[in-house]
């Protein structure tokens, strides 16, 4: 038996490398992935995105406007219900009497009406009985003189 220089595993490995080299030589060179069709498809997709962007934006805007108008319609309906309810209350004579007493300070015949000052207004009465006996223009002139004297200080 001749002594073989290489073992079987080494021979198989060398054969595999030779076969792989033949396969790689037989393969055509790798082309660019971006073909003319792919470029045309990308161009069409980009143009569709650009062409549809504005109408989609308008659609979304109009949907929000519609929702806003529906909310306003609901608010107007609620206000209408409140006004109808108020109109029905004003048809009742007892409610009208109550409002006249509260806001216009009306009293029924035989009742005594009182107004209690709450301290929010300032009422200045003429000072002393002497001011009531003088004519109004003298009181006015005295008030002007008093104001001038206060400004000179």
| pLDDT one-digit tens code per residue, 79-119 | 999 999 999 999 999 999 999 988 888 888 998 888 777 76
Whose CA is closest to 142, among 126, 123, 153? 126
Q: Which two tokens stand for residue 57?
A: 């934006």
Please say whether the beta carbons of 96 and 90 come within 8 A. Answer: yes
Under 8 Å between Cβ of 11 and 17:
no
Q: Which pTM was predicted?
A: 0.41
pLDDT tens for each residue of 19-70: 777 766 655 666 667 788 888 999 999 999 999 999 999 999 999 999 999 9
Helix 36-90 vs helix 93-104: crossing angle, to nearest 10:
90
Residue with tokens 């216009």: 104
């Amino acid at each position: 038996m001749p002594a073989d220089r290489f073992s079987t595993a080494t021979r198989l490995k060398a054969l595999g490398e030779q076969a792989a080299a033949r396969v790689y030589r037989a393969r055509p060179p790798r082309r660019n992935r971006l073909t003319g069709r792919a470029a045309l498809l990308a161009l069409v997709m980009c143009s569709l995105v650009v062409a549809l962007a504005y109408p989609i934006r308008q659609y979304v805007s109009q949907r929000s406007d519609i929702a806003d108008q529906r909310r306003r319609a609901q608010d107007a309906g609620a206000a209408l219900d409140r006004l109808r309810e108020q109109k029905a209350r004003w048809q009742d004579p007892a409610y009208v009497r109550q409002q006249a007493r509260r806001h216009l300070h009306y009293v029924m015949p035989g009742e005594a009406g009182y107004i209690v000052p709450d301290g929010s207004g300032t009422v200045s009465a003429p000072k002393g009985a002497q001011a009531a006996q003088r004519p109004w223009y003298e009181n006015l002139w005295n008030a002007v003189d008093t104001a001038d004297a206060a400004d000179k200080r």
